[in-house]
């Protein structure tokens, strides 16, 4: 089947680009002697996680317990959960998964740790953890200088085991220039060096020193302290990564395939892909480098200026050869959001449709008994 025969909208996944991206990032880790644990909230797919494992990934980072469960079913041996949990039902589910694999949690408060300790002791399991280091993003984490006291306090919780430290340079997504990206990368390296040295001096040498973002990945892969890397968006890339200088159009594997369905004025077209395909993301942390709601491939004269749920409004600057019935490919601003809006990817190689890949762990997609 040819791509042009597809119904629209469709979420396309270019397998040649995907495979190249997976290979490129794994090879960078191999060169630097680093362990790659991809963040899988971008693709949420067991089939794609298997591709990453086969390429050499040694573990995974997850954003939801659904993702953790999916990877347990896949047989992943080491999984890290990116956030603390304090909900009793979530803790019980976490402990149940801990019995199936090595599931590492990230912590930044004694209160959440104590709740986890109580359930772990009850179930007779030991939970490994890393401490979240605040590197200036101020979302989660303990600041360097306060890490030793925190780890010492948690050492009294006998069913928790300290493994190391983790961070996320989320502020890089607010960068307005390549220089600001590089500044965030330097802060990431310097913060983790300071944090690791503090804990080692206090008798708590970290086995895992982990961090991850796609824009700072290459810098972290060459760092002497960080040994475990968690990029996620690199599988697909997107318009945000292009704006940050982390990718080019040719690197973007995930695209929304849409048809031009109306031409209400000389400078305006409508397509059949809206916010339910593309999301409304224009940069997660205040990016000013994003224009519109996606990048229309091969049409620099077009701006995707607005979205309703099922329709995109396209504005023309200058002249265009676009007409009703034409198909377009749109690189989403944030591919993670588009991935979470579909149950499957339409896999393509060139103009050929080669299959469908399930998105196994969309938000709240794994059925659990209630009551």
pLDDT value for 280? 86
Residue 307 to residue 315: CA distance in whole angstroms: 12
pLDDT value for 62? 97
Give percent above pLDDT 90 in the chain: 88
96-129 exposure pattern, b = at least 16 Cβ within 10 A, e = fewer:
bbbeebebbbbbbeeebbebbbebbeeeeeebbb
pTM listed for this prediction: 0.94
Give percent above pLDDT 70 in the chain: 96
Residue 48 to residue 110: CA distance in whole angstroms: 36
In angstroms and rounded to an integer, the radius of gyration of the C-alpha atoms of the chain is: 22
Is pLDDT of 100 > 60?
yes
Residue 226 to residue 239: CA distance in whole angstroms: 27
- pLDDT tens per residue across span 164-210: 999 998 888 888 888 989 999 999 999 999 999 999 999 999 999 99
Is pLDDT of 281 > 90?
no
pLDDT value for 366? 66
22-34 exposure pattern, b = at least 16 Cβ within 10 A, e = fewer:
beebbebbeebeb
Is pLDDT of 282 > 80?
no
Domains of the chain and CATH, by start: 3-10+245-358 (2.40.37.20), 15-236 (3.20.20.10)
pLDDT value for 367? 61
343-365 average pLDDT score: 93
Beta strands in the chain (DSSP E): 10-14, 35-36, 60-62, 78-81, 102-107, 127-132, 160-167, 208-211, 228-229, 254-265, 268-271, 294-296, 302-307, 312-316, 327-332, 344-349, 352-358
Is pLDDT of 369 > 60?
no
49-54 average pLDDT score: 98
């Amino acid at each position: 089947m040819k791509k042009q025969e597809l119904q629209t909208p469709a979420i396309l996944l270019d397998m040649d680009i995907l495979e190249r991206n997976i290979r490129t990032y794994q090879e960078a880790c191999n060169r630097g002697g680093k362990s790659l644990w991809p963040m899988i909230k971008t693709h949420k797919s067991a089939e794609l996680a298997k591709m990453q494992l086969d390429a050499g990934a040694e573990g995974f980072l997850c954003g939801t317990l659904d993702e953790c469960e999916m990877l347990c079913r896949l047989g992943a041996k080491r999984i890290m959960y990116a956030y603390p949990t304090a909900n009793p039902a979530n803790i019980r589910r976490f402990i149940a998964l801990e019995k199936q694999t090595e599931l590492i949690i990230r912590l930044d408060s004694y209160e959440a740790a104590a709740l986890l300790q109580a359930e772990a002791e009850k179930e007779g399991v030991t939970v490994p953890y890393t401490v979240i280091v605040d590197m200036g993003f101020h979302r989660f984490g303990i600041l360097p200088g306060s890490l030793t006291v925190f780890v010492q306090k948690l050492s009294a919780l006998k069913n928790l085991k300290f493994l190391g430290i983790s961070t996320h340079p989320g502020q890089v997504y607010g960068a307005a220039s390549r220089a600001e990206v590089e500044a965030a990368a330097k802060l990431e390296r310097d913060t983790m060096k300071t944090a690791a040295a503090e804990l080692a001096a206090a008798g708590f040498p970290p086995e895992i020193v982990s961090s991850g973002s796609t824009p700072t990945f290459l810098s972290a892969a060459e760092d002497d302290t960080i040994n475990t890397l968690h990029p996620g968006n690199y599988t697909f890339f997107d318009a945000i990564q292009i704006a940050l200088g982390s990718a080019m159009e040719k690197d973007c594997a995930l695209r929304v395939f849409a048809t031009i369905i109306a031409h209400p004025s000389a400078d305006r077209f409508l397509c059949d892909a809206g916010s339910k395909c593309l999301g409304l993301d224009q940069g997660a942390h205040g990016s000013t480098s994003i224009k519109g709601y996606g990048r229309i491939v091969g049409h620099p004269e077009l701006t995707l200026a607005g979205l309703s749920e099922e329709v995109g409004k396209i504005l023309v600057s200058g002249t265009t050869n676009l007409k009703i019935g034409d198909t377009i490919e749109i690189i989403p601003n944030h591919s993670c959001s588009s991935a979470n809006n579909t149950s499957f990817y339409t896999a393509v190689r060139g103009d050929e449709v080669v299959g469908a890949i399930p998105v196994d762990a969309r938000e709240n997609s794994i059925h659990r008994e209630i009551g």
